[in-house]
Structure 1
Amino acid sequence: MRTTRRVAAAVLIVAMAGSTVAASHSATREPARPRIAACSTWVRGSHATVSCYNPNPSVDRVQLHVECARWWDPDMDARPVEVGPAQHVRLAERCWKEIRKAWVSHR
């Protein structure tokens, strides 16, 4: 009877130690970052191009935004495009004159 109690106490101690280690290990883990497509943007004169590849298993929605340098030149936004797993897309927009900046948004 005493042996059974000792074994039960040992199992309880090992189980408690294991849960403490698991709890402390999960607390130090980094928060999950959103999985987005990898994009590269090129600006040449008045043309902006973005190339996006999605290596993730989830779908990403990308959109190219262009801010024109001249006040009278309207800023442009490409239509949003879904990039599925292992897919590649290329988007392009332009201004009449120079481009101030171009960037990609993810949803």
Structure 2
Amino acid sequence: MRLSRSLAPVTVALALVLTLPYDALPHARASAGKPPAPSRFGASCRTTVQGSHVVTYCHNPYVDTDRVRLHIECARWWDIDTDSVPVDAGPAMTVRLTGRCWKEIGSVWVSHQKAR
């Protein structure tokens, strides 16, 4: 008699869990809270520096258009740093960016922005 009374709450709890919809279960809530996978974006760029001249080729293998821009920091304090005009690299498109300093190049980088 005692054994059947202790099984009654367990049986009721099991019946309730089995009748719950899938979304109400704990594992369904945990997976629903995850953010979606990030979309692939961004052109890959190859930069060449020869003396005071910089040439960069950026290829965009993805669907979204990438607005790329070349930034050049010159080594000399009196030399003017430059930023190129933004260029849209569409899907499967390669663009060429160029720039220069009067003397030596200090550093070069390319910025990426998603075009709307």
Give the TM-score category using the shorter length: 0.7 to 0.9
Distance 2:82 2:73 in 1: 7
Whichever of the two has the greater Rg, that structure is 2
Aligned residues: 98
What is the Cα-based RMSD across aligned positions, in Å?
2.6
Q: Which runs of 5+ in 1 are unaligned?
A: 1-7
TM superposition shift of 1:49: 1.4
**SS in structure 2 of the partner of residue 23 of structure 1:** helix
Distance 2:32 2:55 in 1: 41
Distance 2:36 2:19 in 1: 30
Post-superposition, which runs of at least 4 consecutive aligned residues in structure 1 deviate over 4 A? 8-11, 26-31
2:42 corresponding residue in structure 1? 36
CA contact (8 A) 2:40 2:62 kept: no
1:24 corresponding residue in structure 2? 30
Question: Out of 69, 94, 115, which is 1:88 matched to?
Answer: 94
CA contact (8 A) 2:52 2:105 kept: yes
| TM-score of the two chains, using structure 2 as the length reference | 0.69
Q: Which runs of 5+ in 2 are unaligned?
A: 1-14
Q: Deviations over 1:11-68 (max 9, x none)?
A: 6346244xx3343235456762661111122222101111111111111100001011
Distance 2:18 2:98 in 1: 64
1:12 aligns with 2:19: yes
